[in-house]
A and B are shown apart, each in its own frame.
Chain A
Amino acid sequence: MEPLFEILVSAVLLSSMYVLAAAGFALVLSIMNILNFAHGAIYMVGGFLCYEFSVGYGLNQWLALALSAASMALFGLFLERFLFRRFYGDFFSSVIVSIAVIFVLQTTINLTVAVNVRALPTFAPGMLHLGSVTVSMERLVTAAIGVALLAAMVVFVRVSRTGQQMLAVAQDAEGAALQGIRIHRLAAIAMAAGCAMAAIAGSFMGAVFDLNSTMGDLILVKVMQVVILSGIGSLGGILIGGLVIGSVDSILPLFTTPAITQAVGVAIVIALLLVKPQGLFGREMG
């Protein structure tokens, strides 16, 4: 039977990867109060872009990663300016807009790039030996980047002036506007950052796992589980949310059927929503 330590390590690694995927989503939700369903699709496109830049055009993979993040950041600016800005505060319209974006992105990828099987070459080859456990470098690097990005995001929001303004907007948008805070500029920054992080996540996951046009749908559900669990408005808290969902997903399948694993993951989130809708660390949403 698998040594306990190895199971725990794999749980932590998967959890951090979920955190990486969820970071951008949490930022946009907590600041703009927008449920960006298209997050999964953007994550997927980011992964494919990284592939095209690196394998297609022969650039260095880290450079391709940066280019992909930059491209999706620009896309995020476009989304915010022309689509989400109009519907700031209108939950229903932003849902419809996100759905439309998903359809366009998925269909375009399907018709152009997704034809053949793709996986990004590894960002960090090799294995690391921690005592009795062997861990793949790329999973470690991905996990580390996930935690690092989250930490950077939390620090930025707490420390920088822009970040403080974002917090103010998240608490009370009208009040913040009255104080002269330019909401739209902040929303644009948040959206660009969120999309860039999604692209980075998609690229790393595309190397650890694989790239396909529907990977966004799968990850969106996981991301929502993580974010809802930690609570809307909480950024650092997604570390804990990620840990819970990641542990369920990596430990339970070893002992029980996949269907039960999924049911448990869902039950945990529903139970929390019933007892404490704000999540473990979140604030009440308006």
Chain B
Amino acid sequence: MNRKEFLQSLSAGLAAGAFVLPNKVLAQGKTKTIRIGFLAALTGFASSSERIHLQGGELARDWINSHGGIKIKGETYMVELVPEDHKSTAEGAVSGATRLVHDKGVKYIAGTIMPFTVAAVTTVTEPAGVLRSVGYNAGTPQEFSAKTPYTFLSQNGTIGAIISGMRWLKGKFPETKTISVLIPDDGSIQHLAPHVRKWAEANGMSIKGDIVGWPLDTVDFTPFALKAANLGPDAVAMVNGWPGMVGSVLKALRKSGFAKPVIGMHYLQVEDVLEVAGAEASTNYYVHGLMLNDPELPERIKWILETGTKKYGHKGLAFWVEGFDPVYTIAQAIGKAQSLDPDAIRKAWEQMDTIDTAYGTSKIGGRETYGLRHAVVGPRSIAGLERGKPTAMGWVRDIVVP
């Protein structure tokens, strides 16, 4: 090699080094990640909806990372989502949680939804001191109580819906005095019934007759709808249920001649109910739900809808949000605690007055209802079906879960 070639290759090498070195230094700053686990049903009967929850979790990760990640003491951390399947069974939930916590060393877990999976995961995460942000709550103490100090509820949950639902119902239909109630017969009735009665009475209404329970594996919901209608109430309330069930009940109620208001004290997309119940029956129905073309949709939910539709090709908004908030709330709590230690994060979260969710600024409450102040309660929109058309009914903003 002569001198010219040597100088050429030296300058090429230096130039390359000039690119590589700064990148390496920058990369060292960027490669820090925080691993947040996400437990969802990827197989089994719950998978068709919980896969969408996982997509919501991915959207949360994308949102957090595109907004600068989480900053702790000057360092920037990106969120890495670690999904795990719980197979829609209690055993699978324990196995999945074990794998996440003990094998993969994950210290924060988002999810799950169904009460028996939430309770099952608790048996693994609580003794291990792993922080959890749960996506739903059906009111049973095994899911969430003073005995689960590391678990936080990132959504209003069933009791939150009862509180806001009763208030909204009385506000919109002040002549309502009696309500008959439908609750799934899966063990939650005994825990939800006192809350239902308490909040009905707090709003000057009462529950007519016994709570109508229905088994999860029902084919035809008509008898239960009829049972509720026959009690002769001023309104029918449904606590928990999925669009297929709700639509069937609504259809049956309307076809039996019951024209009074039907209100869902849980969270659904009202377009789904319309799909199942049909235009004729879809009237005088109100539920806590996001409407795709609600003019008052919060910024973040709009983002979720846009980005999700582009990325995944469908519009499972309600489920996306249910998967978004658990991850989003954990990230904020970590940022507030300025620490990676679950204990420190837990304490910081408990001290927070407000926390942000996809729905907007939310309060933290729940000491009286659940036994610990770990419930995130945010504003919720009521969507209605009137004469076969989805109608935005406005937002309930100052919900308080004591």
Whether chain A touches chain B in the assembled complex (some CB pair under 8 Å): yes
**B257 near A110: Cβ-Cβ < 8 Å:** no
CA–CA, A2 and B229, complex, Å: 10
CB within 8 Å for A118 and B255 given contacts A214-B45, A219-B219, A254-B223? no
- Tell me which residues from 281 to 312 in chain B have a Cβ below 8 Å from any Cβ of chain A: none
CB within 8 Å for A253 and B223 given contacts A1-B230, A116-B316, A118-B275? yes
CB within 8 Å for A253 and B255 given contacts A210-B244, A218-B217? no
CB within 8 Å for A121 and B278 given contacts A209-B219, A209-B220, A258-B218? yes
B224 at the interface (CB under 8 A from A): yes
B64 at the interface (CB under 8 A from A): no
Closest CB in chain A relative to B239 CB, distance in Å = 16
A212 at the interface (CB under 8 A from B): yes
A119 at the interface (CB under 8 A from B): yes
B378 at the interface (CB under 8 A from A): no
Q: Which residue of A lies closest to B48 (CB)?
A: A114
A10 at the interface (CB under 8 A from B): yes
Q: In the complex, what residues of B have CB within 8 A of residue A251's CB?
A: 223
- Tell me which residues from 191 to 241 in chain A have a Cβ below 8 Å from any Cβ of chain B: 205, 209-214, 217-219, 222
CA–CA, A177 and B276, complex, Å: 49
Q: Which residue of B lies closest to A10 (CB)?
A: B222
**A119 near B275: Cβ-Cβ < 8 Å:** yes
User: Which of A210, A214, A250 has the most chain B CB atoms closer than 10 A to its own CB?
Assistant: A210
What count of chain A residues pass the 8 Å CB interface test? Answer: 40
Closest CB in chain A relative to B319 CB, distance in Å = 9
CA–CA, A125 and B279, complex, Å: 10
**B244 near A209: Cβ-Cβ < 8 Å:** yes
Q: In the complex, what residues of A have CB within 8 A of residue B227's CB?
A: 253-254
Which of A213, A219, A257 is B213 in contact with, Cβ under 8 Å?
A257
Interface string of B217-257 (1 = CB under 8 A from A): 11111111011001000000000001110011001000111
B315 at the interface (CB under 8 A from A): yes
Q: In the complex, what residues of A have CB within 8 A of residue B269's CB?
A: 117
CB within 8 Å for A107 and B43 given contacts A115-B316, A117-B243, A117-B272? yes
CA–CA, A127 and B257, complex, Å: 11
CA–CA, A107 and B316, complex, Å: 19
CB within 8 Å for A250 and B222 given contacts A119-B275, A210-B247, A212-B48? yes
In the A-B complex, the 3 residue pairs with the smallest Cβ-Cβ separation, listed nearest first, are A210-B244, A117-B272, A258-B215
**Which A residues fall within an 8 A CB radius of B?**
1-2, 10, 14, 17, 107, 110, 114-119, 121-122, 125, 127, 134, 136, 205, 209-214, 217-219, 222, 249-251, 253-254, 257-259, 261-262
